[in-house]
Amino acid sequence: ETVVNRIAAGEIIHRPANALKELIENCLDAGATNIQITIKDGGLKLLQILDNGHGIRREDMSIVCERFTTSKLKKFEDLSNISTYGFRGEALASISHVAHVTITTKTSDSNCAYRACYSDGKLVPAKPGISAEPKACAGNTGTQITAEDLFYNVPTRRKALKNPSDEYNRILDVVNRYAIHNSGVSFTCKKQGSNQADVNTLSTSSTLDNIRHIYGNVASELIELGKSFRKLEFKVNGYISNANYNLKKMNFLLFINHRAVENSSLKKTIESIYATYLPKSTHPYVYLSLEINPQNVDVNVHPTKREVSFLNEDEVIAAIGDTIQERLADANS
């Protein structure tokens, strides 16, 4: 059973950046406004994430790493109406099958924090011979989750991830995306032992401030988008680069109902619109946030698939394409 769980876990958690994405979404679900991330060896040795969200109650600590235990899904029917990030209850369970997990957490109504260690979904003693029960300790309201030695028990996967600095860059990309999309939340990300953060945004800065901070001069050429489509039941907001700004490759940040996702037909449509404005070797920066009626979003896609589909996809994509086309034409007339 452990092996089966480990294989299932490996399908959800491919690499440190996947694990971190799930952990960030949990912090945001918990209402955090401050998220601090510490990484060692590209996340393979250590992934640590500290938030100031609502914390986990002492009595829930024994089950949070069990598969399909989620506080976010009451009934199966809720699947079609889901508006929070997490709805599967598989992320922490999966991580605990492929790493050593420690959670320190405090709710605002508790006098103290509690710390517990997990393996294969269950509480385990911090060291042999002591109790596995959560242990009272000092701490602020919020949660710190530590995942150590990722894939220590999946040697093939561990071997496939050869380059920690590559993994670190993927991590920074995930943090940057969530930082840009969540302008009310401050994010930091640094390597363990370093006193310099590689991502450092403030809860008071705007989306545009964050884009400028993270991508530098791209922000000077950005066009703001914002449009609602009543009949198709969606809204699009975001920032797109003007035709005369050049990147080495298209930088496309897509959020659907606040989850970072991918949609390759939308991406292709946008690329082909820019192709009429840009010289062949140059590419745009595009950040889009779509809010779609949750009932129209396909939530049954497998968790490994970041690719998301939705109802009336062709019409929705065409509408977004037209909006981008108009704004680019205006800016360049």
Q: Using CB under 5 A, list all residues that contact Mg ion.
A: 26, 86, 91
With residue 312 as reference, give the H or E element that holds it: none
Q: How far is the CB of 78 from ligand ADP (least distance, A)?
A: 12
User: Edge-to-edge strand order for the sheet containing 222-229?
Assistant: 222-229, 234-241, 285-292, 251-256, 259-260
Q: Which of 37, 44, 61, 91 binds ligand ADP (CB under 6 A)?
A: 91
| Per-residue tokens: 242 | 């003007």
Query: Is the Cβ of residue 91 or residue 254 nearer to ligand ADP in the bound state?
Result: 91
DSSP three-state, residue 316: helix
Is 86 a residue that touches ligand ADP (CB under 6 A)?
yes
Q: Which of 9, 44, 47, 92 binds ligand ADP (CB under 6 A)?
A: 92
Is 70 a residue that touches ligand ADP (CB under 6 A)?
yes
Is 51 a residue that touches ligand ADP (CB under 6 A)?
yes
Query: Is the Cβ of residue 103 or residue 225 nearer to ligand ADP in the bound state?
Result: 103
Is 53 a residue that touches ligand ADP (CB under 6 A)?
yes
Is 87 a residue that touches ligand ADP (CB under 6 A)?
yes
- Mask of contacts with ligand ADP, 203-232, x by CB under 6 A? ------------------------------
Q: How far is the CB of 183 from Mg ion (least distance, A)?
A: 21
Q: Which residues lie across from 211 on neighbouring strands? A: none
- In this structure, the chain runs to a length of 333
Q: Which of 10, 16, 21, 22 binds ligand ADP (CB under 6 A)?
A: 22
Q: Write the CB contacts of 161 (distance below 8 Å, at least 6 apart in sequence).
A: 15, 16, 42, 44, 151, 167
Binding partner at 229 among ligand ADP, Mg ion, none, C-beta below 5 to 8 Å by kind? none
Is 41 a residue that touches ligand ADP (CB under 6 A)?
no
Which one of the spans 90-98, 111-119, 123-131, 225-233 is the region binding ligand ADP (CB under 6 A)?
90-98
Question: DSSP E strands: which ranges in the chain?
Answer: 34-40, 46-51, 100-106, 113-119, 122-124, 135-137, 142-148, 186-191, 199-200, 222-229, 234-241, 251-256, 259-260, 285-292
Q: Which of 30, 180, 185, 211 binds ligand ADP (CB under 6 A)?
A: 30
CB atoms within 10 A of CB 225: 19
Is 27 a residue that touches ligand ADP (CB under 6 A)?
yes
**What residues from 289 to 318 belong to the interface with ligand ADP (CB under 6 A)?**
none
Q: Which residues lie across from 317 on neighbouring strands? A: none
Q: How far is the CB of 48 from ligand ADP (least distance, A)?
A: 12
**Cβ-contact 148, 16 below 8 angstroms:** no
| Per-residue tokens: 77 | 């029917």
Question: DSSP E strands: which ranges in 32-99?
Answer: 34-40, 46-51
Q: Which residues of this chain interact with ligand ADP, rule CB under 6 A? A: 22, 26-27, 29-30, 51, 53-56, 64, 70-72, 86-93, 143
